[in-house]
Amino acid sequence: MAASYTLYGTKGSGSAAVEAALTIAAIPFRSVDAASWEPGPGLDELTRVNPLAQIPTLVLPDGTVMTESAAILVHLGLAHPASGLLPAEASRRAQVIRGLVYIAANCYAAIGVIDYPERWCSDADDATKDRIRAGTRARLHHLWDVFADTFPAQPFLGGEQLGGLDLLAAVVSKWSGARKHLAQSRPAFSALLARIESEPRVAAIFVRHWPTA
């Protein structure tokens, strides 16, 4: 059967969260290796659908282009309720949507500053870029501490079963020293992240994206 979803992404990137979500929902998809930092046909194809050339980008069977990790995970959860990507109960679902937007708006956005400080400061020399990176990294670690204090594991972030918020938290916390920081500052949350990425349905995906982690 031809896959009708197309996922643009690459190893070690945010596309891992969407790959895991599609897998949990048992949705077949075509994978295109693409990233703004990897010139080639994949990037050319990605840029045609997402002018920011950011990943994850997911093209739905009807051609609808989805960007923004949180929006993609909410959409998949709503379109495939049996997947458990979003909780069925309204208050829990509201908290999961809050958590997804929190990660995208705060943590993922900070990663974009750390990776590309020159986009956020005109005429930045190397010392200025280093200062932007250091400040943003400290802020990112604080943002994760607040996330850990705000969103309780029960035992997963959306309730009894692994869901979209777990996937985005486990992926976005892989970067910029967040895991090392959380192991010290929030050990219970750190243990939750380890539990998420070792959940049998997604464990192989995490190992493939982060083989040495």
Ligand X SMILES: N[C@@H](CCC(=O)N[C@@H](CS)C(=O)NCC(=O)O)C(=O)O
Binding positions for ligand X, rule: CB under 6 A: 13-14, 36, 53-56, 68-70, 104, 108, 112
Distance in Å, CB of 175 to ligand X, minimum: 8
- In the Cβ-directed half-sphere of 102, how many Cα atoms lie within 13 Å? 21
Tokens 């080639």 sit on residue: 40
| Assigned token pair, 34 | 């693409």
Distance in Å, CB of 112 to ligand X, minimum: 5
Reported residue count of the chain is: 213
Contact 169, 147 (CB under 8 A): yes
- Rank residues 54 and 95 by Cβ distance to ligand X and give the closer one: 54
Instruction: Give how far the C-alpha of residue 167 lies from the chain's centroid of Cα atoms, to the nearest Å.
Output: 7
- Rank residues 71 and 161 by Cβ distance to ligand X and give the closer one: 71
Strand-pairing partners, residue 6, are 30, 59
- Rank residues 159 and 197 by Cβ distance to ligand X and give the closer one: 197
- Rank residues 133 and 161 by Cβ distance to ligand X and give the closer one: 133
Largest CA distance in the chain: 53
Distance in Å, CB of 141 to ligand X, minimum: 18
